[in-house]
Structure 1
Amino acid sequence: MLAYIGKRLIWMVPSLFAVSFMAFVLIQLPPGDYVTTYIATLAASNEVVDQQQAADLRNRFGLDQPFIVQYGKWMWGILSRGDFGLSFEWQQPVSGLIWERMALTLALTFATLLLTWAIALPIGVYSAVKQYSIGDYFVTALGFIGLAIPSFLFALVLMYLAVVYFGQEVGGLFSPEYQNAPWSWAKVWNLMEHIWVPVLILAVNGTASLVRIMRANMLDELPKPYVTTARAKGLSEFRLLVKYPMRLAINPFISTIAWLLPNLVSGAAIVGVVMSLPTAGPLLLQALMSQDMYLAGAFILLLCTLTLVGTLISDLLLAAVDPRIRLE
């Protein structure tokens, strides 16, 4: 086991270098750079920036240097000091901007995961056990609706209902008085009062998808001989389901860990923009739009790291849960 984990960790190093280089290349592929975007923004406000000022800005940000020099300085700063560079748009260290958003993103994603699993697992099992019943048809219809509704549209509808019928403030995760307040139990409670709306929105599509997957996997396992044998030995139906077919059908839930961790950064960006959430997704989107290459590059590098770590955790848990899987 330790040898397997060590081998996977060693292979992560060249993968991260390759992804960091490709990310740096892709961010600079669009024509222009951050200064070009900045000048265009000023021009929209009837402000004019002459060529000398633009050249000074490029020199200040190091954008006048060759691509490989920019990449080398960025990577050297990461490896030697843990410095991801300075955000052009925010004029703040990239590391500070990222970690300030990650705590709230983690809370939102973890709450969404718990709600998704708590709903999808029992409903998927029920739908398979009661195949072609009225309950199964009802769950299937709701699942297709959940898959079909765009998250941003559901966000707008739920925000309207929350304001009109529940008197709930929408937009952001805190009331105005708690936006910049230090953390306290009152602020945590205020977060709990606001977080249920985005959690419900984000959970709908994932729940509908996992219900269908769980139902299909359970239907594959239920007719198999080992289930018939266990039932013939007198096991109660609930214990039989939990001990045998569910243990094998639950694999997709564990596999979601592989994309759950990178989803901390990139997931729900559109919902975050619609609801003005102070999470990582909208910040990454803004960085890409403004060609803020150090901020966007750091996010993409973090995205790759979380993907590799999530895949490793998922593989190890699958080997522990499913007796058919062996690391050898």
Structure 2
Amino acid sequence: MLLFIVRRVLGMIPTLFVIAFLTFFIIELPPGDYLTNQIAQLKASGEASAAAKIEFLRSQFALDRPFLERFGIWVGIWPGPDGFNGLLQGYWGWSFEYEKPVAEVVGPTLPLTIVLNVATVIFVYVVSFPIGIYSATRQYSWGDYGFTILGYLGLAIPNFLLGLILLYLSNRWFGLSIGGLMDPKYIDAPWSLDKLGSILAHLIVPTIVIGTAGTAGMIRRLRANLLDELHKQYVVTGRAKGLPERRLLLKYPLRMALNPFIADIGNLIPSLVSGSVIVSVVLNLPTVGPVLLDALRSQDQFLSGFILLFVAVLTLVGMLVSDLLLAVVDPRIRFGRRGTA
């Protein structure tokens, strides 16, 4: 198992490099950049001295160099201007819109983003697992029909609309404001148990809003996979030999049906981040979603590039976790010589 983990981690390095190249390439596709737009606005207003200063910034941050050279400088494999380091040196870049290092812009939002995504993943699996088993083992029952209708509603209702509905109902019925990830009095306060409790309390609504669509999809997939296993011959044989239904379900078909269910961990993370951008704006959540949206609109390439790369790292970590869980759950998976079953 240790050798497998080492191989998977080493395999993530070239994958992450390719993702970084594609991210940088896509960000560079639109004509111009943040400084180019600023120069056009300053020249239109007649501020030539400020435009000259921005041209100096272009040279200082290597924006006047060829594409491959800019990419190498951003990653940290190519020597850049004096004082300009890359990602490999621990420098995340400079945000032109906020006029401060990227680390200072996204630093407070990264931990909250990770906490929100972990809480949402846990919510999706904790809710969808028992419901999916119930729907599969009681096919065409009233409960199955009820959960099916709820699943279709979860897939059909946009997350941001559900967030607006919960905001309205909480304010109308209970007089509560559920926006944000903590009470305003704890925003600049040092960490304490009260601040942690406030964050956990405010996590409930965004976790439900963001995880609804993923939960509905997981329920449908687990139900379909488990129904397929329950109709196979080995289940019929086990039932004919008198195995109790609970033991028969847990020992064989459920374990076989969990493979796609577990493999979706890595695919779920990027969909949660991308799906939470508008929800974060609606619920006023201090995550990287709104920052990414502003960075893409203003063509703040270093800021948007780092956030997209951060999401890619979360995805790769999710893939690694799903592979490890698959090795534990499915006895058919082996990590060793090629050809072993």
Name the TM-score, length of structure 2 as normaliser.
0.86
Within a 5 Å distance, the mapping from 1:207-222 to structure 2 comes to 207-222=215-230
Larger mean Cα displacement after TM superposition, 31-40 or 100-109? 31-40
Cα distance, 1:174–1:37 mapped onto 2, change above 3 Å:
farther
The corresponding residue for 2:261 is 253
Q: CA deviation at 1:51?
A: 4.5
Q: Give the gaps of 5 or more residues in structure 2.
A: 77-84
Cα distance, 1:39–1:19 mapped onto 2, change above 3 Å:
same
Cα distance, 1:14–1:115 mapped onto 2, change above 3 Å:
closer
- Whether the 8 Å CA contact 1:258–1:311 is kept in 2: the answer is yes
- Whether the 8 Å CA contact 1:266–1:280 is kept in 2: the answer is no
Same amino acid, percent of matched pairs: 49
Measured in 2, the distance between the counterparts of 1:6 and 1:111 equals: 27
Q: CA deviation at 1:150?
A: 0.8
Measured in 2, the distance between the counterparts of 1:20 and 1:113 equals: 25
Q: Which has the higher contact order (CA 8 A, sep 6+)?
A: 1
2:148 is equivalent to residue 151 of structure 1: no
* Number of aligned positions between the proteins: 325
Within a 5 Å distance, the mapping from 1:177-216 to structure 2 comes to 177-216=185-224
The corresponding residue for 1:107 is 115
Measured in 1, the distance between the counterparts of 2:73 and 2:272 equals: 27
SS of residue matched to 2:334: coil
| Superposed CA offset, 1:98-135 (max 9, x none) | 34212111221222222221211111111111111122
- Whether the 8 Å CA contact 1:106–1:264 is kept in 2: the answer is no
2:1 is equivalent to residue 11 of structure 1: no
- Whether the 8 Å CA contact 1:120–1:208 is kept in 2: the answer is yes
Q: Which amino acid aligns with 2:17?
A: F
Measured in 2, the distance between the counterparts of 1:39 and 1:64 equals: 14
The corresponding residue for 2:45 is 48
- Whether the 8 Å CA contact 1:144–1:208 is kept in 2: the answer is yes
- Cα RMSD of the aligned pairs, angstroms, is 2.5
Q: Which amino acid aligns with 2:201?
A: E
The corresponding residue for 2:54 is 57
Q: CA deviation at 1:304?
A: 2.5
Q: Which amino acid aligns with 2:56?
A: N
Measured in 2, the distance between the counterparts of 1:38 and 1:312 equals: 42
The corresponding residue for 2:82 is none
Cα distance, 1:244–1:40 mapped onto 2, change above 3 Å:
farther
Q: CA deviation at 1:10?
A: 3.2
Larger mean Cα displacement after TM superposition, 92-101 or 209-218? 92-101
Cα distance, 1:184–1:264 mapped onto 2, change above 3 Å:
farther
Q: Which amino acid aligns with 2:27?
A: I
SS of residue matched to 1:173: coil
The corresponding residue for 1:98 is 106
Measured in 1, the distance between the counterparts of 2:36 and 2:29 equals: 13
2:299 is equivalent to residue 302 of structure 1: no
2:144 is equivalent to residue 136 of structure 1: yes
Q: Which amino acid aligns with 1:12?
A: M
Cα distance, 1:114–1:309 mapped onto 2, change above 3 Å:
closer
Measured in 2, the distance between the counterparts of 1:317 and 1:193 equals: 29
Measured in 2, the distance between the counterparts of 1:176 and 1:128 equals: 45
SS of residue matched to 2:95: coil
- Whether the 8 Å CA contact 1:266–1:303 is kept in 2: the answer is no
Q: Which amino acid aligns with 1:48?
A: S
Q: Give the gaps of 5 or more residues in structure 1.
A: none
Larger mean Cα displacement after TM superposition, 152-161 or 292-301? 292-301
Larger mean Cα displacement after TM superposition, 94-103 or 145-154? 94-103
Cα distance, 1:253–1:51 mapped onto 2, change above 3 Å:
farther
Measured in 2, the distance between the counterparts of 1:9 and 1:195 equals: 31
Q: CA deviation at 1:159?
A: 0.9
Cα distance, 1:112–1:305 mapped onto 2, change above 3 Å:
closer
Measured in 2, the distance between the counterparts of 1:202 and 1:241 equals: 31
| Superposed CA offset, 1:140-166 (max 9, x none) | 111111111111111111111111112
Name the TM-score, length of structure 1 as normaliser.
0.89
The corresponding residue for 1:33 is 33
Q: CA deviation at 1:6?
A: 3.6
| Superposed CA offset, 1:68-105 (max 9, x none) | 34323222223552111122122232234334212111
SS of residue matched to 1:256: helix
The corresponding residue for 2:244 is 236
- Whether the 8 Å CA contact 1:159–1:197 is kept in 2: the answer is no
Q: Which amino acid aligns with 2:168?
A: Y
The corresponding residue for 2:79 is none
- Whether the 8 Å CA contact 2:296–2:304 is kept in 1: the answer is yes
